[in-house]
Amino acid sequence: MRCTKLMASAAVLLVAAACSGGDRWTGTITDSAGVAIVSNTAVGMWTTSSQWTLEEELRIGSIEGEPEYQFGQVGFIAVDSRDRIYVADAQAQNIRVFTPAGQYEQTIGRPGAGPGELGAGLTFLVVASGDTLFVPDLTNRRVNLYGPDGSEAGSFPIELEKGLPMVWRGTSTGIVACQVRPLSLPNAPARDSMDAIVLYGTNGIVTDTVFKFPSGGTLNLGGPTPEINLYSPESIWDITAEGRLIHGVNDEYRVGLYGQSGKLERVVSMPFERKPVEETDRRVVMEFLERAWTGAGVPPQALAQLRQIVHFGEFFPAFSAVLGGPRGSIWVQHVQPASELSEEELEDYNFIEESGAPMWDVFDAEGRYLGVVTMPPKFAPRLIRANRIYGVWRDELDVQYVVRLRIIGVGDEDTGAVPLASQ
């Protein structure tokens, strides 16, 4: 009788825990030739008390005042082993360094083509081991290297015959990874249509090719004329501090997790509904592109020709971006159609920064769906380090600021993070 009562009590507690949400997960994990297939439902594991939230803890920038704090066009952001913040400014063609508390420290590089100088179009920068700074400079066809003190440390060439560097990523452990796309150059042998993710040493030599995948269709450079095919399936990826690769082709909601050897370990999927690209979406995006081209100095007579190379897919992608987060979590960004924005939001619409929505799906290290984290409006994340997110926020005047958010609910003790020295 006592045993029966205990079993009944246990059953009541189990039912109560299930009804409360708890850590209950409603998906499934199956094995396919040694690969874990994680199929999620739209029900996350987070409860009101366990959900991660965001808190702004640092903002760098100003509308007027000291020029070191005024940004023209922020590209990517990097963080070194001392939590110093490196900001690439494409308009100024330099990199500004700030302390963890946001105080200006120094400027690296200047416009030009000489040693240590930076060409137009500055976008990426990553911190390698020993806090060596990699700054790809496609205009000057090289990657500039700088020491931890900002001193020039040489460069190595970008050899287009070996491929076009598309995306660069760096990790807190000093890994430098680059997505390289083959180019069909005049009077050169035909290349395959496979992109590669390669790793670089601090000397600029490729040390490994960790992954190859079919080239996406957004930028087509293989024909007689270039094409921009917006909303075409594209490979989206990030690399974690441990050297694991997060990769997915965004025509469906499936993200793979690969080990350091490039072996697929886990596939994470979520149900999603395909959204059609509407006329409003095409119109708003074309208006943005024309403003960008005009601002870059393209003459009016060339705009018609540029319009002809832009094409739109029938449906939006399943997701916009992926990032590796704290405790091995995987962050997947929702897509944000322009047709779903208000007229006020469309007034200063930025396709590059706002094609991804503020909502991010978060999965744990096993690929189980936790829930949604919503980032601030007009905030575009660049990277996650431990339990902090670094990105760019734009105000109502389109002035840019570098912002650091803290992820609340993770805790430094859970991520191995060391509290910022200057906080």
| pLDDT of 232 higher than 70 | yes
pLDDT given for residue 185 in this prediction: 64
Backbone angles phi, psi at 79, to 5 degrees: -135, 130
| pLDDT of 112 higher than 90 | yes
| pLDDT of 21 higher than 60 | no
pLDDT given for residue 4 in this prediction: 41
* 3-state per-residue secondary structure call for the chain: CHHHHHHHHHHHHHHHHHHHCCCCCCCEEEEECCEEEEECCCCCCCCCCCCCEEEEEEEECCCCCCHHHCECCEEEEEECCCCCEEEEECCCCEEEEECCCCCEEEEECCECCCCCCECCCCCCCEECHHHCEEEEECCCCEEEEECCCCCEEEEEECCHHHCEEEEEEECCCCCEEEEEECCCCCCCCCCCCEEEEEEECCCCCEEEEEEEEECCCCEECCCCCCEEEECCCCEEEEECCCCCEEEEECCCCEEEEECCCCCEEEEEECCCCCCECCHHHHHHHHHHHHHHHHHCCCCHHHHHHHHHCEEECCECCCCCCEEECHHHCEEEEEECCHHHCCHHHHCCCCHHHHCEEEEEEEECCCCCEEEEEECCCCEEEEEEECCEEEEEEECCCCCEEEEEEEEECCCHHHHCCCCCCCC
Token representation of residue 403: 């912002």
Tell me how far apart the terminal alpha carbons of the chain are, to the nearest angstrom.
Answer: 60
**Rounded mean pLDDT, 137-150:** 95
**Rounded mean pLDDT, 138-156:** 95
pLDDT given for residue 1 in this prediction: 43
Q: If you search the block for the tokens 């094609």, which residue do you land on?
A: 355
pLDDT given for residue 141 in this prediction: 96
Whether 197 contacts 245, CB under 8 Å: yes
| Percent of the chain predicted with pLDDT > 90 | 77
pLDDT in tens, 197-231: 999 998 889 999 999 999 988 988 666 778 899 99
How many Å apart are CA 406 and CA 389, to the nearest integer? 6
pLDDT in tens, 290-335: 999 998 889 988 998 999 999 999 999 999 999 999 999 999 999 9
Token representation of residue 126: 């990553």
| Percent of the chain predicted with pLDDT > 70 | 89
Q: Which long-range contacts (CB under 8 A, 24 or more apart) does 382-386 make?
A: 382/76, 382/77, 383/76, 383/77, 383/78, 383/79, 383/170, 383/323, 384/323, 384/324, 384/325, 384/326, 384/331, 385/79, 385/172, 385/417, 386/172, 386/326, 386/412, 386/415, 386/416, 386/417
Lowest-confidence segment of 26-40, 85-99, 184-198, 359-373 by average pLDDT: 184-198
How many Å apart are CA 281 and CA 303, to the nearest integer? 19
Confidence class of residue 186 from pLDDT cuts 50, 70 and 90? low
pLDDT given for residue 11 in this prediction: 38
pLDDT in tens, 374-407: 999 999 999 999 999 999 999 988 899 999 999 9
pLDDT given for residue 417 in this prediction: 54
Whether 95 contacts 84, CB under 8 Å: no
Whether 228 contacts 221, CB under 8 Å: no
| pLDDT of 27 higher than 70 | yes
pLDDT given for residue 222 in this prediction: 66
Q: Is the pTM above the cut of 0.85?
A: yes
pLDDT in tens, 49-67: 999 999 999 999 999 889 9
Q: If you search the block for the tokens 């006020």, which residue do you land on?
A: 344
Confidence class of residue 261 from pLDDT cuts 50, 70 and 90? confident
pLDDT given for residue 6 in this prediction: 36
Helix axis angle for 279-295 and 300-308, nearest 10°, is 140
The number of CA neighbours under 13 Å toward the Cβ of 153 is: 19
pLDDT given for residue 188 in this prediction: 60
